[in-house]
C-alpha cells in the first residue's frame, strides 16, 4: 500500500469522525434545549401555583373580587390585596414574556397565561391598577398588553368565572 492511499484512508476516517462529532453535538444541543424548555415550564407551573395559593383564603378572595369590581369603592386593604396579586401576576407574566420572546416557552403556554392576565386587567380594579403601575414593566410587554386590552375583546375575569361576581362576596360586617 502506498502513502497516498494511506493518506486518503486517513482523510476519509477523519471526515467521518468530524461528521459523527457534529451529529453528536447537534443531538446534545437539541436535548439541552428540550431540557431547558421543560425546566422553564416546570418553574412557570410552580410559580403559577404559588401565586394561586392566595385563593385558599376566602377573605383574600372576597377582598380582591370587591376591589376588582369597584376600585374606588374598595377599602385600602382590598386595594392592597388586589394590588399585590396584580403585581405578582404581572411579574410572572413579564418573566414568561421574556422566556417566550427567547423561544424558551411555547406560544400556547404564554398566550394562555397572557389571556388570563388580560381578563384580570379587564376588571374595573384591574384597569385602574394597570394605569397606575404599568410603567414598572417592559415597554414591549406594556405595548402588547395595552393593544390587547384596547381591542375590547377581553371579558373581565368576574364575567368569565361566575362565582367571582361581587354579589357573591359581600364585605364582612
Yes or no: say if 117 and 51 are a contact pair by the CB < 8 Å rule: no
- Is 8 within the bounds of a domain? no
How many domains does the chain fold into? 1
Each residue's pLDDT expressed in tens, for the chain with a length of 173 residues = 688 778 878 888 888 888 888 888 888 888 887 887 788 778 877 887 888 888 888 899 999 999 999 999 999 999 999 999 999 999 999 999 999 999 888 899 899 999 999 999 999 999 999 999 999 999 999 999 999 999 877 889 998 998 998 888 887 65
Q: Which residue has the cell 421543560?
A: 38
- For residue 153, is it within any domain? yes
How far apart CA 159 and CA 173 sit, in angstroms, is: 26
pLDDT at residue number 120: 95
**Helix 58-69 / helix 76-101 crossing angle, nearest 10 deg:** 90
Domain encompassing residue 134: 40-168
Q: Residue 135: inside a domain, yes or no?
A: yes
pTM: 0.77
Domain membership of residue 17 (yes or no) is: no
Q: Are 121 and 113 in contact (CB under 8 A)?
A: no
Residue 146 belongs to a domain:
yes
Nearest-5° Cα angle at 151, 128 to 96: 70
Check residue 54 and give its pLDDT: 85
φ/ψ (deg, to 5) at 168: -85, -5
Amino acid at each position: 500500500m502506498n502513502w497516498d492511499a494511506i493518506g486518503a484512508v486517513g482523510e476519509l476516517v477523519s471526515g467521518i469522525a468530524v461528521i459523527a462529532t457534529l451529529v453528536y453535538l447537534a443531538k446534545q444541543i437539541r436535548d439541552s434545549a428540550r431540557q431547558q424548555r421543560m425546566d422553564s415550564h416546570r418553574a412557570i407551573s410552580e410559580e403559577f401555583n404559588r401565586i394561586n395559593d392566595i385563593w385558599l383564603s376566602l377573605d383574600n378572595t372576597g377582598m380582591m373580587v370587591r376591589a376588582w369590581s369597584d376600585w374606588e369603592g374598595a377599602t385600602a386593604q382590598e386595594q392592597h390585596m388586589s394590588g399585590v396579586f396584580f403585581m405578582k401576576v404581572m411579574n410572572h407574566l413579564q418573566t414568561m414574556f421574556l422566556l417566550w420572546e427567547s423561544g424558551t416557552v411555547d406560544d400556547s403556554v404564554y398566550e394562555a397565561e397572557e389571556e388570563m392576565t388580560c381578563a384580570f386587567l379587564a376588571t374595573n380594579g384591574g384597569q385602574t391598577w394597570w394605569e397606575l403601575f404599568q410603567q414598572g414593566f417592559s415597554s414591549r410587554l406594556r405595548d402588547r398588553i395595552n393593544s390587547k386590552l384596547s381591542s375590547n375583546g377581553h371579558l373581565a375575569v368576574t364575567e368569565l368565572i361566575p362565582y367571582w361576581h361581587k354579589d357573591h362576596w359581600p364585605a364582612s360586617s
